[in-house]
Amino acid sequence: MVASTDYLVIDLAMQTAKVKPIGDYLFARQGDNRRPLPVWFKQNDQPFPLTDYLIVWEQTNAQGTPLTVEGVTTDGAAVGQVMFYYPSQVFAVPGTVTGHFAIKNDGQVISSIDMTFEVAKNNVLMDIDTMPFLNDWEKFKASLQAETDQIKSSLTGLQEQSQALSNQAAANKQLVEDNAVAKKTDLANFLKTSGDQTLSGKLIVSDLGLTSDGSMIPLVNAKPTTNVWAEKQSGLYYYDASMTGTVTPPYLQDNNKTGYVLFVYQDVNNFYMNWLGSGWEEYKRNGVYGPWLNKGGIPIYSGSLKVGDTIQLAC
C-alpha cells in the first residue's frame, strides 16, 4: 500500500512556468512498461475529485517526438489520488522526457505545469518494440488508415477506367463539334442509296451520358447519394447538388456541384468524408462532429472595389 506521503502532489491551480522534476517519484529505463506513478491531484491545496474526468499524459521525448496516452489508474486512499501507469512508448528513447497531465471532462481541460524525468539507457535491450500499446484514438486512426488504403487500392483501376471513358467521350464530343459525323437524316438518305455519296452537316447524339463539362460521371460505377452522412458503408459515392434534398458542404463552386464523396465508415459514431476535388472534409469521432475543413480554399469575393465600397461576400 502506498502511503499518502509517497504521492506526487500536483496542484492544478498552480500558475507558474517552472518545470518540476519528478525523478524522485518515477524511475524509468528504456524498455520499461506499465511503470506506475502515484499522483495526488489537488486544486488550491484541496483534494480534487476526479469523478467523470479523463486523465491524459502529454509529452515529448528526448528526440522531440510527441505522444499522448491515457494511463490505467487505480483509486488511492483519498480524494484525488490515483496510480497512473505509463506504457512502453513513454520510455522508448533514453534522455529527458518533458510532459504534463491534462484532466478532461466534457470539453473542459485543466493542464498541470510541465514536469520532467530521465529515461536511463538500457544497454541490453535492442530495437525496443513500441507498438503493443495503442490508445483508443490511435486505434481509430489506424483503422481509418487501413480502410482508406484499401479503398485507394480498389479505386486505382476505376480511376483509370473513368479517365479512359472521359477521354473517349471528349474525342466523340469533338467529332460532333467539328461536323465530322453525319446527321441522322443524311445517314438515312445515304443508307437508302447506292454508290459514292458526299455527306454534309452533323449528326446530333443526345445519349452519350455526358455532363455539361464533357465528363462521363454517370457512367462511373459509384453509388449515388443525397445524404452521405446517412450511409453505412465505406466507398465512393456520387452526388448532384442540383437534386432536391441533397446535403452538401457549406459552399461548392460551380465545377464541384456534381462529383464524388470518399466515405470511410467505422460505425455510426466514427466516420470520415472527403468531397473530392472541392477541398472539403468532415469527420465524426466518438459521436461528435468535427468542424468543416477546406484545404483548397474557396472564393469569398470577386470583382473590383474602391475606398468606401461595401463588400458583399460570395458565401
Q: Which of 127-141, 170-184, 245-259 has the lowest mean pLDDT?
A: 127-141
Q: Determine the Cα–Cα distance for residues 68 and 70; give it in Å rounded to an integer.
A: 7
Contact 140, 49 (CB under 8 A): no
Least confident range from 1-5, 188-192, 250-254: namely 188-192
213 membership: H or E segment, kind and range: none
What single-letter DSSP state applies at residue 27? -
User: What length is written for the chain?
Assistant: 315
pTM of the model: 0.40
Q: 222-231 contacts: CB < 8 A, separation 24 or more? A: 222/260, 225/261, 228/261, 228/263, 228/273, 229/273, 231/263, 231/265
Tally of CB atoms within 10 A around 47: 14
Given this model, what pLDDT does residue 135 score? 59
